[in-house]
Structure 1
């Protein structure tokens, strides 16, 4: 007996297949081929038997690719940043849209302090309070950093400049990703070239990654002195010391003693640098 619609008429072929649960699998060959082609699946059929189907597949496979947003090539961008003044750098960082970190920031945070400082401290990235106030290390981690500076006779803003590996706050204060660090690297490199510090202290693994690359765990980097290439021709390489980030020390109090060892070593190193500089200056005037 033929199945009928509720109205009394016979069901169509498609309606009948749907009634028995076969319609998703059972399709006309033309419909199936077009669907597969739309998904990028290669389809080979005798086109001469069905010109309409061949035209439909051709229309799908020959669609132009979606437009790709144009961006300034990385090399050209780096070259442009390398020639910026402090004012230009500030404007460029504030307007930067080069990575996804710009999407949720309130403001970019370039850095703070003495722009001719002997000491340069580099952290990870802005946190919530830094993002709100536009200055690095202003929350609890910043208070601890200020105490660390005071312990070795330093003060924020006096012969000290503080920056971060990335200039925009990572969502939920997560660690910056390698691509984000790389995108922001030209800004950090320009800051170093403008400041020309005598010593760099890296606070945490993200900062170490930004300046030294993937060279090992933070524990393996402690106790060593690295050399950052001279920012300008004819200059000297800048000694680099690695220690823990203040935010980590707030969570891991037992490592504060290790951080103190690192700071003391950095202070001895700076004194040696200053003594060498004084001797060199004396020899020039002798």
Structure 2
């Protein structure tokens, strides 16, 4: 898996450009949850996109990623933004996050499904709870096991059997950097109950990409995409709609 992200690192920012609207939504939440002077851990920091945003707001950041190439991209971005001092970058697999100091962080973020590549979410949840101060905030952004747009695509292509089975398979393969990388998929409520409930209170859960189409669906006029986005906004935190997005977010508070 490491080789996939090493290969993807040089072009990663371009690859995720189509979902910049989703990044902006997460940033809006980070701005509400974290304040200048606090310390936030960015798990699977990638090329440092979120680390730069947080550091520009006066937040101290530690960013970890298993890929040296991703960390190199992050470091270059921080140098260009003159933000090296408030950001500590480390080459570290998320599975080893438990080696960091206890109660060292006011918040922890993990965006764009960085945790979806981990088969041991329970161990990660235990570790990050120990790293947070009491009532510290954890924000996880995960791939959903069932999405409305994927179901519609299967129905449109008349793959009715696959549409009926959608959501049953807990693992899905994605091609990253020319390599196949397995991702572990969850339903929002099940993920909270299974991995986080014993250690965290659920402050907020919402789906993203419920009505707004994936950027890979290019035949939909931009005006319609904008309209779908506006329609989606009030639905994101409501059941059953929150369970229909391509991604979901759990905002958690350490007990």
Q: Which has the higher strand share?
A: 2
Larger Rg: 1
TM range (shorter): under 0.3
The structure with the greater share of residues assigned to helix is: 1
Q: TM-score, normalised by structure 2?
A: 0.26
